[in-house]
Amino acid sequence: METLGYLAGILTTIAFVPQVIQIYKTKSAKDISLAMFLLFTLGVTFWLVYGISANAVPVIAANAITLMLSLVILFFKYKYRKSV
């Protein structure tokens, strides 16, 4: 069942990769909600701390990478803000 946790973590983590690629290619992020990614990034940070304290390895691994990807999306949202 740990395997399912890893699979879940891999999916919800790599999910952000096509989003990062799409914004990078189109240079447009206007339909991306800034509020969504601010809340999401904060939440993922808390999931990471929760995972560490609960010693839940899939939660830790998934959220560490998701945190980096969501920070990239926030950066893109800021970088391409003129396209709003």
Q: How many helices (H) and strands (E) does the chain have?
A: 4, 0
Does 26 bind a copy of itself (CB under 8 A)? Our answer is yes
Instruction: Give dist(CA 41, CA 43) in Å, integer.
Output: 5
The candidate with the shortest Cα–Cα distance to 36, out of 72, 74, 64, is 74
Site string for a copy of itself, 35-54 (x = CB under 8 A): xxxxxx-xxxxxx-xx--xx
Rounded least distance, CB 17 to a copy of itself, Å: 8
Rounded least distance, CB 1 to a copy of itself, Å: 5
Does 68 bind a copy of itself (CB under 8 A)? Our answer is no
What is the total count of residues that contact a copy of itself (CB under 8 A)? 45
